[in-house]
A = this chain, B = another copy of it.
Amino acid sequence: MANELLDCEHNLRVAIKKATESPCPPQLAQALEYAVFPGGARVRPKLCLAVALATGNDEPMLAMSAAVAIEMLHCASLVHDDLPCFDDATQRRGKPSVHASFGERIAVLTGDTLIVSAFEQLARCGFQISDARRLATVTQLVTRGVGAPQGICAGQAWECEPSVDTATYHQCKTGALFVAATCAGAAAAGEDYQQWLPLGSAIGQAYQVADDIQDCVGVSAQMGKPSGRDALLGRPNAVHELGLEGAITLLNNLLNDGIASIPQCAGRDLLVSLVEKQSERFFPSGYKRCAA
């Protein structure tokens, strides 16, 4: 699977250009650009596009729009998550967070605008594709991953409750958008998305464990954000619960389960190798995945 087929940078640029064109207020325009570029690993849109490619990708514009929308929504969640009232994080992706650079007001509006633009990106597919139901399915999968009752907003809101089930919290806050990525990729290609749910769920959980490990053993400069935040903020962390070796075993099992769950499809082998490659960076130095 050629890497450029999984690359949504150009389409992300087009979407941000559309939101920031005249007469957009200058600071909002700068902050929108700043919040999205340069990106992180773009793991969610790559996963979405990889599943679409593996399942035939007969509506490539829809798959690309879903990937771009998912990444914009992810960026929006980071901007709002970093706000003083939440994590009060001053660093993100190796540079000052949006509110640290542009102030809290512009940070709130940057998140809001990214959410609106993400859905505009998806809606625009209606001008090109003939199958309105397919677009509706993809959009609904994306909304499910980010809103309430069980998307990112719900996950974040669990932080405000006096008690929370850790699995539910992570499933909403991290897992839901990975599930949206695999399912929307399959639905964009007209496939039954249900059977792609376990892959998204497993990678989402693995990603959370990898994040927990990085928070404990990571060097801030590599992560692009401060380490040791979970202990500081009293948040659940797999390394605190299982120890480092236990957390790495869990990560390994989740990835193996995810790979095993990939349904038979034309591009299965290529998709497996992509998931393997992407997950290399989930492990701290000195560790790697052991196949089941």
Residues of A within 8 A of B (CB): 19-29, 32, 76, 80, 83, 85-86, 103-106, 108-109, 111-113, 115-117, 119-120, 122-127, 129-133, 135-136, 139-140, 143, 146-151, 153-154, 156-161, 164, 168
Given contacts A83-B108, A108-B85, A135-B132, contact A160 B116 (CB under 8 A): no
Interface-centre pick from A23, A32, A117, A131 (highest chain B CB count, 10 A): A23
- Bound-state Cα–Cα, A105 to B122, Å: 28
Question: Secondary structure of the A side of the interface?
Answer: helix
Contact between A125 and B115, CB atoms less than 8 A apart:
no
Q: Are B139 and A119 in contact (CB under 8 A)?
A: yes
Give every chain B residue within 8 A of A83 (Cβ-Cβ): 108
- Check B27–A157 contact: CB distance below 8 A: yes
Whole-angstrom CA separation of A174 from B40 in the bound complex: 36
Contact (Cβ within 8 A) B140 A123? yes
A26–B148 Cα distance when bound, in Å, is 11
Closest CB pairs A-B (n = 4): A126-B136, A116-B147, A24-B149, A123-B139
| Bound complex: CA A132 to CA B122 (Å) | 12
Contact B108 A148 (CB under 8 A): no
Does A116 lie within 8 Å of B25, measured CB to CB? no
Contacts of A146 in B (CB 8 A): 116
Pick the contact of A23 from B149, B153, B159 — CB < 8 Å? B149
* Residues of the B chain whose Cβ atoms lie less than 8 Å from the Cβ of A153: 28, 109, 112-113, 116
